[in-house]
Amino acid sequence: MYELPCRKTVTKRIQQLYENEKEDKVNLLEKAECVALTADHWTSVSNSNYLGVTAHFIDIKWRLHSFALTIQKTTTRHFAENVAEDFESVAEAWEVTQKVTTIGTDSARTMTTAMRLLTFQHMPCVAHALQRTITVCLADSGFTGTLARCRKIVGNFKHSPSNTEELQKEQTEREQDKEPLIQDVSTRWNSTLFMISRLLKNQEAVKATLAKQKHKLTMLTTAEWDRLQRLETLLKPCRYVTELLGGEIYVSCSVVLPALHPLTRTVEVSDDDPAYVVRFKAAFKKDLSQRQDTLNHGWLRVATALDPRFKCLPRGERGGVWTSVEELLQKEPDRATPEPTEEPARKRSLLLFNSDSESEDEEGPNGALGRYRAEPTISGTDCPLQLWSTHEGAHPQLSALARKYLGSPATSVPCERIFSLAGNIVQKKRAALSSENVNRLVCLSNWLKEKKENK
C-alpha cells in the first residue's frame, strides 16, 4: 500500500541532501591548510562536455581526504584559456583559491597549456605517461600482429554465447574456473595485460574449443604463445606501478620516484632476450625517460624526502633536494613546539631506495632538518601519515611541509573514477538529465561512499 513519492519530491530531497553534504565538505575545506586538485574533461552520451574536479588534502588529524568538488557542464570549446578560467571558477566557488597547491591532469596539450596560465603547480599524471609509453612500445616492437590475433580469438567467444558455453565445458573438464576471456580496450589501463594473462591461463581450453569449431581465425603459433608469455612478464611491473600510484586513500606523490626507478631496471637488456624483447625494452626505456622529463620533479623530490619510508634520493640529487627543503622551512611560519615526551631517536644510516647511496655515510645539517634526517626510515608497508601524526610535535615546521607535499595525488585517476561513475548515471535512458542534477547525483554518490568508508 506504499505510495511512491512523485518526481518533484524525489528531486527536492536529492537537492536537500546535496546541500547538507556539500556544507560538510565546505567545512572540511575551510579547516584544510593546503588543497590539491585533479581535473579532466568528459563527454556524456548526449555529447555534452563536462569538467570534473576532485579535492585532496590531509587534515589536522593526519587523515587523507579525497572527494569530488564538481562535475560541471562547460559550454565553451576546450581552448587553454577557457580551461584555465574553469579551474579558477571552481577554486573560487569552493573558496580554496589561496590554498590550492597542485592541479593534476593528463598530458593533453590543452591541459598542459592551461596550467602555464595559472599560478598553481602542475602535476602531470604519471599513470597516463606510463600507459602512453606501453602503447608506443607495443606498436614499435612487433607485438601488433600477435595482439590483433588475440583480440579476434577473444571476440570469437565474447560475441557468441554458444562458443562461450563450449569454452566453459572445456574449462570444467580441466578443473579450471569458468572464467570469461577479457577483451582489451585502448583507453583502459592494463587491459592488454589482463587479456593476454587470461588467454595464457586458458590456453589449452581455448585450443581445444577452437579445434572443434569451424572458424576462419588465424591461430597463434607456438612462437606467438611464447611471445605473449614474455610480454606478460614485461607488463606486470607496469601494472603494479599504475595501481600503486592510482590510489586515493593513501599517499602516492612521494612514491613516484621510488617506483619508477626499479621499473627502469626491469627493462635492462639481457643476453637471453630475443630481438623483439630487446626492441621493446629499448623503446620503453627511451620513451619513458622522455615522458619523465615532463613530470614535476621539484615537487616529487621534496615529497619523497618528506616521506619517512624513503627520505633520500639518488646521490646526485640529494644535496639539491635538502637545500630546497631548507629554503622551504625558512619560509614556513614559526610554530609552537611542545615539550618532548620521549628521548630523540638515535642517529642511524639513511635507508635509500637507490643502491648507489646505501654505503654512503653522510652527516646531516644541524637543526630540525638534521634531526629528521638522522631518524631511521620506517617500513615500506607502514603509513607515513601515522608517523607524522606522532612526530608532529617534534617537527612542527617540517610536518606542515609534509602535510602540503604528501597530500598531492600522483595521478588524475580520481577524476577518471568520477567519470566512470558519471557514465553509470548519465545513460542512454537518462541522457536528458540537467547538468545541475548530473552534478548533484555524481557528487552525492562520491560523497556518501567516502563517508561510508571513513566510518
Q: Which residues are 72's β-sheet partners?
A: 51
Both 212 and 310 in one domain: the answer is no
Residues 139, 264 within the same domain: yes
> How many separate domains does the chain show?
3
Grid coordinates given for 291: 615522458
> Cα dihedral sign for 218, 223, 225, 229?
negative
What pLDDT, on a 0 to 100 scale, did the predictor assign at position 449? 87
Task: Point out the domain boundary residue: 257, 292, 327.
Answer: 292
Residue 82, C-alpha cell as written in the block? 577557457
Please report the pLDDT score of residue 46 as a whole number: 84
Q: Which three cell numbers stand for residue 76?
A: 565553451
Q: Are residues 214 and 261 in the same domain?
A: yes
Of 374, 422, 429, 424, nearest in space to 398 by CA:
374
Cα torsion at 195, 273, 204, 236 (round to 10°)? -30
Helix 297-305 to helix 396-405 angle (10° resolution) is 130
Question: Where among 389, 405, 421 does a domain terminate?
Answer: 405
Let me know whether 229 and 167 are in one domain.
Answer: yes
Note the pLDDT tens digit of each residue in 74-92: 876 668 888 889 999 999 9
* 265 and 169 inside one domain: yes
* Residue closest to 310 by CA, chosen among 370, 391, 365, 256: 256
Whether 424 is covered by a domain: the verdict is yes
Same domain (yes/no): 157, 84 = no
Are 224 and 143 in the same domain?
A: yes
Residue 55 bridge partners (DSSP)? 37, 67
Supply the range of the domain harboring residue 428.
22-125+412-454
Residues 252, 354, single domain; the answer is no
Q: What is the mean pLDDT of residues 126-151?
A: 89
Single residue among 405, 425, 443 that ends a domain in this structure? 405
Report yes or no on 15 lying in a domain. no
Are residues 203 and 81 part of one domain? no
Would residue 1 count as lying in a domain?
Answer: no
Q: pLDDT above 70 covers what percent of the chain?
A: 90
Residue 5 lies in a domain: no
Q: Which residues neighbour 372 within 8 Å (Cβ) at sequence distance 6 or greater?
A: 395, 398
Q: What pLDDT score does 91 carry?
A: 94
What is the distance between the alpha carbons of residues 109 and 115, in angstroms, rounded to a whole number? 10
Given a cut of 80, is residue 351 above it in pLDDT? no
Q: Give the span between the Cα atoms of 305 and 408, in whole angstroms.
A: 14
Answer yes or no: do 168 and 285 share one domain: yes
Has residue 17 been placed in a domain? no
As given in the structure block, the three cell numbers for residue 247 are 590510489
Task: Please report, for the domain that includes residue 432, its CATH number.
Answer: 3.30.420
**pLDDT the model gives residue 19:** 95
- Banded pLDDT at 350 (limits 50, 70, 90): very low
Rounded to 10 deg, the angle between the 222-245 and 191-201 helix axes is: 130
State pLDDT tens for residues 159-211: 999 999 999 999 999 999 999 999 998 778 899 999 999 999 999 999 999 99
Q: Is residue 8 part of a domain?
A: no
